[in-house]
Each structure stands twice: as structure tokens, then as C-alpha cells.
Chain A
Amino acid sequence: MLKELVKEEFTQDIAKGAVLVDFYSSTCSPCKMLAFILKDIEKTLGDQVTIIKVNFEENPDLIEEHKVEGYPTLVMFKDGEELSRKSGLQQKPVIIKMIEEAL
């Protein structure tokens, strides 16, 4: 499942299962490319993983809380714990590997 952040639900969303959070900016070209790749991954993995997109500029509190330093940044959570993170545009196999480590 791929969805845009609903702030009130974020803590609850990442608390259970494998959740990949994409901190992105709408003005960043690698973020735009990554959006296509994440949609493709959603098609491949279906409900095995939840992908949440967090707009970097609109959510400074979450950026600070999760110590995100730039965009795009992918943070992989499992049951609320951060398992791994990658900065910059990543290829599909790298992202799949991140997710598989959390499944």
C-alpha cells in the first residue's frame, strides 16, 4: 500500500509491520524518479509493505524527529523500530532488499 502522510496516523502507521517512509520534496528530481519506482514496488509487493510519503518541506517536526538531513531519504521501519535508511535515489533492487530485511 502506498499513501501520502496523514500526520495524525503516522505514529500508529509505523508501529506495526514493515513500513517504508519516503521523505521527499516536490521540487527534487530524484524524488520524482523515486516516486515512479515506489509505485512500481507497490505493484510488486502489494500489501506486504506500507509505503508512506512524507513531504519534507511541510513536515519539519517529523524531519527533526527522525533526523532526516536531505531528500529523498528512505527510512525502513519494522514494528516501529528503524531498521535501515538510504539517502538519495535508489534502484529498485536496493529498495526491495531494504524491505525484504524487514519482512
Chain B
Amino acid sequence: MTATMVKEKIGYQFQEHLIEKQAKAEYAMLNEFAKGEFTMENPLIKYNPYIVNDLAAVILFRTEEETAITVRVKGKTKEGDFYHTFPRAKEHVLPIVGLYSDYENKIEVYPYQQSDKKVVHTIKTPEVAGAKLVESMDTTPEFMQDNVIFLCPAVNDFAIAVDYAGDVRLNYTVPMVWDIKRNPNGNLLLGSQRLMKMPYFVSGIYEMSPVGKIYKEYRVPHGYHHDQITLPNGDIVALNCDLDNGTVEDKAVVIDKDTGHVKRTITFSNFIKPGSQKSGSWSDEDWFHCNAVWYDEHSNSLTFSGRHINAMVNIDFDTEELNWIISDPEGWPEEYQQYMFKPVGDGDFEWQYEQHANLITPLGDVMCFDNHHFGAQNPDNYLAANDSYSRGVKYRIDTEKMEIEQLWQYGKERGKEFFSPYICNVLYYNEGHYLTHSGGIAFDGEGNASEELGPFAQLDDPNVKLNSITVETINDKKMLELKVNSNYYRANKFTLYAKDGNNLSLGKGQLLGSLGETPQMDYDIPAEDTGEMLPAKHEAHITDEVDMFTFESKFEKGQLVMLLLESDQETRRYFISTSKGKRGAMCTGTFLPDDDRDTRTIVTKEGLHGEYQVKLIIDGMKYDTGITIRA
């Protein structure tokens, strides 16, 4: 039988949203709890009940009186302990975080201020994937206390959190990506794992707790990327794309904190003309490459980091008028020179190139991770990777005199060892106290700094070594250095138990906002209907979800392929590119396929009504898949 004679449907699976899966798991857990006589001495213990953190658990029991309960997650040393006291209650549903991999974890539980009544429970964990990635942690328990360094994914290693001793104490098992921030309520904001558009645009932002419970997904139309920030009123500014213009990473949306709906759109081409400045990674499509957004309440302004224009761009939050640009002025058109700063100070000044993660300190200083990729505006002066360096940097700006002074940097002195051509961040804790995370280090098999970004280098060269180095300094004294054998997008430091937060709220999470309607190809290419099923050689598969579906298949390079959705009312057309394209920026390679014949096409269900037959046109021949999508 030839491949074209196979009359079988292509692969299909319906994938429940994590919120739905967690709701079912939580319901089952609470149901079991309701039916049993669980006490502090004999509680119900559920390991990883929220599916996504395999170094977490929940302990459930009742007390006769309303009692506050203290939990001690025992460390391998005393300094590795995590404590938390939960509020008074008779029914106790206690999240347990900070377990060790492949270890008989001891959990002490006792009524508040009555440690003599403690009972000890054991949770044996399996070996988890992230536990082997840490190469070294050099710090003191006095400095770290019960904090962990949380690392967000940039390649195929998922989020982990590392304690003072270098032990992994959190290990997410799904590829939730992009920036991590902690809300005042103790919850985390992290990009979802739901890929919406290759190579890394995801469906939205999860608000979740470290134990893994997702409370909300704020869906972002046409895909979220890189960064978000919460405004004083709780709304979120999230980065997305200007699809109407055929470009990417050059738009932001303000999302209502309660409904998830877009309240406002900020289009960067309204204040910077595309092509005004071009970094070494610039492309027509990705002309700005916004990788960070920061809101400054004192100046009521937004600052966007444009990697591909080598600039940090500040605009008025209300009027969207340009306030200033921090960038090497060379090559910028005359109309932008009035927004540029003149360097002053003692001569240690350097501009930043292809920077990431801009922020404004409480004193109004501007910080970023200066990747220093290419190291110049003029291509004649570009630096080779082996001659490059990266650094955290802090500038003081005077917006009246339009002067800029470099106050601090860390990293240049380490040369290529600390060079990350992509990703990374800095954090401000206090004057003189900063975190600098160089998370995109790559070396080829011969010890040269890789000219390729980590995700590409990893695909092209099995001997490539990826590293991530996170450093904290106080008044230039190194207080912490964490080295991990992978690339990690950003680092943040916090306690796994939120001191003021709930840590775990029960009830089903919410799916907010919208994904936007996937743009169709507006041309109907001619095709002959074969009446046959799609040949098995294409290894096609559909993963269906509540609000979108993903069509995955293999094609030869250059084949002209279109996905069709046919209903009684309409035919929708979606182009599938079979070309091998390489982007100048790959800030998370988490979703990159191993086989470059693999294609992944995601269609949201917005705008769809009823049932659609999924069909395919390949080089003028039309095939059925046997699959029906319902919306």
C-alpha cells in the first residue's frame, strides 16, 4: 500500500487547559479530603497536585479548634529550612514548596507557637530534570536567607529555583517562559506554555503561585512575548506584535486586571520610524524587537527596550509622545537627535548595544543588561564574539540638560566568559545592591564564544556548552554567584512562601481576555481535490484546545502548503511556511523543533462558528485530514 492510499485520519488529541486539569485535580483532592478523617498526625498528603511543580505538595487536615499552623520544610542543613505560618482555620490545605529532588523530604507541622507538638511527615520525591543543571552556587546562607534564585527558560530546560546551597527547590515541568515577576499579593506572573505563533509567541500570562496553582491566564491578542509590568491600578502592560503591519515585537497592550480585555494599544511605529536605527540583529519584520517594558510612576512614563535599535525609548504614558532615547547617537536621523543624551562624567562611559530588561530605579536612574552584542552602531566596528563582553549598567540621566553619566557597571571585566548576545536582566534592590544575570552564554566545542545564539548553537553543534551566570553585588562586592549549565532568560530572587500572600487559594482558575483572530491568507490558491486522506509520510497531528488548535506536520522545503478550514458557511485559509528561516533574535528557543521539516501552525478559534473540516493543499493537490474542529 502506498502512502497516498492510507485512508486513516491524522493524529488528534484534545488537550485540556492547565486551568481545567488543575481544577479537576483539586476537586478530586478536596473530595478525598472531605470523605476522610484527616488530622495533623495523619493528614492527606498530595504530591504535585497542580501538575506543574514536581518539588511541591499539599498537606490537608483538620483541627478541632481554629488554629494557625506552622510548617517547616526541612532543609538539608538548618540554613536550608523554609518556614511559613498559615492563618487560623479548622480545615487546613497547606501548600508545601521547596522540596528537594530525589530525597526523603521531612516536613514538620505544628500549631503556631507550639513546636513541641510538631509532627514530621515524609515526602519522597523523584529525581527531577532541573536538579542536575546547577554547576555552582557561591554565596552565604546569611546573605541568601530563605530566598531562591528563580530562573526562567530560554531553551529546553524549564524554570527552576535554586537555594543558597545550589540545591534546586522548584522545578516546573511545563515550558512556562518569559519574564517572572511577583505581585504584591505574592502570586507570580509568568508567560504561559501555550505556543500561539512560532517561534515563541505564547497565549498569555499566568498569575500563579509557586506551588503551581494557576489563578488566571491573561490571554494577549496575537501572542505575548518577553515582558510585562503591572501598573499602579493593577492593569498589566504586556508586549505583543503589530500584525496588521506585518511586523513583530513592536506593540504593547494595556490589559484590564479583572477582565483581561485590551483597554489600549501602543504602537511603537507611532514614535519611532522603522529603520531609523539598525542593530546587528535588525530585520524588516523585527525592526524594534522590544524585550522589556517599565512603568515609572514619578514621570508617568513607559520605557521600552528596543534590542534592534540599540535603544531604550521613553514615552509619556498618556500622550505617547517621545521623552528621551538612550542610545549611541551615531547613525540616528537628525529628527531624533533632540531626544538623545550627551555623555558626561569621568570617562568610564559606554553606550549599551542590543540591551535587555531596562528598569528605572527609585532615584530615576536607568539600568539595563547591556548585552553589548556587536558593540557598535557602525557595522565596520562590530565586535566578534570572542572579543565581546556583557554587563549590567546603571546610567544617571538629566532630562533638562540631556546629559547621561555611567554610575556603575558589572561584567565587562569578565570578557567573553560573561558574554550573552541575547536575553538576560538586571535587578535593583537598593543603592549599590544589584543583580546581574548573564543567561545567554554559549561556547563552541573549542572554547570560542559562539557567534550563534544559544538555541541555534545547541541545534547546530552537539559540543556547544550553554551557561547562565547570575551575580549579586553590594557596593561592588560579590555576594552571590550562581552558575547553571543552560541558558536562562531572566533571574529573580524571592522566597517561595510569600510572606504576605495567600500561597494557595482554592477554586477554579479563570481564562481571561482573548487570543485575537488568526490572520487568514487572503488568496485562494488553485488546487485539485484528490478525495484522499493526507499521506501518512507527513506525520500530521492536531492538538485541539478550548480556544485554539495546533496543526503539526512535516513537509519538504519549498512545498506550497495551505491549511483549510471548511464549513457549510465559509472556507478559511492559513498559509504554512515550509522555508527554513533563521531569526536574528531567538529569546527563547524552548519551542524550536529538532527537525527543520517540522511545521507548527496555530489557529485560534476566534471568529470560528460551528464545525470545520480540516483540509490541506500541498503543491496544488487537496487532501482531507478526517478531522473536524468545533468552535
Q: Footprint of B on A, CB under 8 Å?
A: 27-30, 32-33, 36-37, 40, 69-70, 73, 85-94
Contact = CB atoms under 8 A, between A and B. Distances in A.
Interface stretch (B341-349, B557-565, B606-614): B557-565
Interface string B539-560: 0000000000000000001111
A29 B558 contact: yes
Contacts of A37: 522-523
Contacts of A92: 522-523
Given A88-B285, A94-B246, A33 B523 contact: yes
A90 B522 CA distance: 10
A92 B284 CA distance: 17
A85 B560 CA distance: 23
A9 to B, nearest CB: 26
A33 B521 CA distance: 9
Given A73-B284, A87-B285, 9 more contacts: A29-B561, A30-B575, A36-B523, A85-B284, A86-B285, A88-B246, A91-B519, A93-B244, A94-B246
Contacts of B576: 29
B523 A29 contact: no
Contacts of B521: 33, 91
Contact of A89 (B245, B283, B284, B575): B575
Contacts, number: 57
B607 to A, nearest CB: 16
Nearest to B562: A33
Contacts of B246: 86, 88, 90-91, 94
Given A36-B525, A91-B519, A29 B577 contact: yes
B578 interface: yes
A32 to B, nearest CB: 4
Interface of B: 244-246, 283-285, 519, 521-523, 525, 557-562, 575-579, 581
B579 A28 contact: yes
Contact of B577 (A70, A87, A89): A89
Mostly helix, strand, loop or mixed at chain B's interface? loop
B577 A30 contact: yes
B519 A29 contact: no
B562 to A, nearest CB: 8
11 contacts: A32-B560, A33-B521, A33-B523, A33-B562, A36-B525, A69-B283, A86-B285, A88-B246, A88-B285, A94-B245, A94-B246
A33 B561 CA distance: 9
Contacts of B523: 33, 36-37, 40, 92
A36 to B, nearest CB: 5
A28 B558 contact: yes
Nearest to B555: A29
A94 B244 CA distance: 7
Nearest to A71: B579
A30 B523 CA distance: 13
Contact of A33 (B283, B519, B525): B525
A76 B557 CA distance: 28
B390 to A, nearest CB: 26
Contacts of B522: 37, 91-93
Contact of A87 (B244, B284, B558): B284
A96 to B, nearest CB: 10
Contact of B558 (A27, A36, A70, A91): A27
A33 B558 CA distance: 11
A85 to B, nearest CB: 6
Contacts of A93: 244, 522
B256 to A, nearest CB: 29
B149 to A, nearest CB: 38
A29 B580 CA distance: 10
A37 B575 CA distance: 12
A24 to B, nearest CB: 12
A29 B560 contact: yes
Contact of B557 (A27, A87, A94): A27
A27 B555 CA distance: 13
A30 B575 CA distance: 8
Contacts of A28: 558, 579
